[in-house]
Structure 1
């Protein structure tokens, strides 16, 4: 029996670096499970689109598809866009079984990836001292999504015994620059900013720009293609594949 296909579904961006990063992450997944059919897809702005990938998989004979949303927070895209895309695909392909897994989310192990990216940024900026951290995320009109980022920031701060503030690139205060300025107003001069984004694009670029203007000593790159994220995608897939098995 053929295992269900895995579609890693990202939001998409006009920035080509975003799609390239998502595809590199999917390559990590493929390297870990070469036996699976694994495809990247995007809700909008990037190619290939979700519907195009589904059409291709169905044409190739796949009758079961597990969709892993590459989203960090349970906000609008997860609650509306992903279910809508799957409903459209289901309507177009009767008889094909689809299952959307939980989003990637904000797993504690992602702090390991944050630390890797932060060490890279500190090394590049020749920074050896820190007295505060900012965790910059996309931001959402959904307060629960923002609270999840704030909780992760507190865990990260405890891990490094440093004060940490969550900041947002859209929809909610404070912006990354505001968070940096607030720490500097307290007399903290060595403030670094971590980019809690999956891939490069307008929002992480804007957050980095504002942070550096405000005096941040370093800004890390987004999480990007990392084995820890690939393992989480496969863990979500494993649960989703089981959900497709008839009881």
Structure 2
């Protein structure tokens, strides 16, 4: 069975690598015996060239929510530079499992997500990192729309910590204008760091601020789903051996 090479973005904030390590532990608990290696695009060690050389066979799984610049350019370029012709799994989003992880974090922050009445009075800011890629922006907005449609929130507004707006205070104001009796902020981010801290600071006016997705069980399940799909696709496209 090929190893799972988890490729994370990396951060100077030590909480980032600690969160990735905790997520790897969640994955290992679900797939004992699977060889899992972690590499980072930036800031953290080990980097991709340091890892791929010791892997005989692997599937690369990007720890990324959207198919933006890192997924389209940085990951393939880093693998090419390392001389690694590995199958690369799809990014994590969109997926119902991400919505379930968002629900989990809101519930942990004190929102009764099981109550339809509570959800109907609650507006949510889906606070993402932000991207200059219009497709990534559209994907985040599609997640927000699906979350509202499937859960019955009063409203779900998108905000960004970087790139173009809207910012969290703008989104909170939009929720109140839409009639939300209670406002919450749900970071659509994988690990702690500069941008999540920026979102938390900007969310001071919200009633509830959830934690980042982190090592949620749903993310561990989703990583394995992406790994299995990429492994199956790679096997189907492998040239048949001839006598």
TM range (shorter): 0.7 to 0.9
CA distance in 2, matches of 1:155, 1:238: 25
Deviation at 1:155, TM superposition (A): 1.5
Q: Are the counterparts in 2 of residues 176 and 208 from structure 1 also a CA contact under 8 Å?
A: no
CA distance in 2, matches of 1:47, 1:63: 20
CA distance in 2, matches of 1:226, 1:195: 13
Q: Are the counterparts in 1 of residues 79 and 85 from structure 2 also a CA contact under 8 Å?
A: no
Aligned to 1:35: 33
Aligned to 2:79: 86
1:155–1:242 distance in 2 versus 1, CA, 3 Å? closer
TM-score normalised according to structure 2 size: 0.88
Aligned to 2:47: 49
Q: Show CA shifts across 1:96-116 (max 9, x none).
A: 641111111221221111111
Instruction: Return the match for 1:133 from 114, 124, 149.
Output: 124
Q: Which runs of 5+ in 2 are unaligned?
A: 112-116
Aligned to 1:93: none
CA distance in 2, matches of 1:182, 1:16: 34
Q: Show CA shifts across 1:35-68 (max 9, x none).
A: 211012111111222221223x2xxxx3222100
Instruction: Return the match for 1:242 from 225, 228, 232.
Output: 232
Give the CA RMSD over aligned residues: 1.8
Aligned to 1:175: 167
Q: Which runs of 5+ in 1 are unaligned?
A: 91-95
Summarize the alignment of residues 54-203 of structure 1 with structure 2, pairs less than 5 Å apart.
54-55=52-53, 57=54, 62-90=55-83, 97-122=85-110, 130-158=121-149, 159-185=151-177, 188=180, 190-203=182-195
Q: Are the counterparts in 2 of residues 177 and 207 from structure 1 also a CA contact under 8 Å?
A: no
Q: Secondary structure at the match of 1:148?
A: helix
Deviation at 1:10, TM superposition (A): 0.7
CA distance in 1, matches of 2:81, 2:29: 30
CA distance in 1, matches of 2:188, 2:85: 33
CA distance in 2, matches of 1:203, 1:54: 29
TM-score normalised according to structure 1 size: 0.86
Q: Show CA shifts across 1:65-107 (max 9, x none).
A: 21000100110000110000110111xxxxx641111111221
Deviation at 1:241, TM superposition (A): 2.2
Q: Are the counterparts in 2 of residues 19 and 47 from structure 1 also a CA contact under 8 Å?
A: no
Instruction: Return the match for 1:230 from 220, 223, 230.
Output: 220
Q: Are the counterparts in 2 of residues 138 and 203 from structure 1 also a CA contact under 8 Å?
A: yes
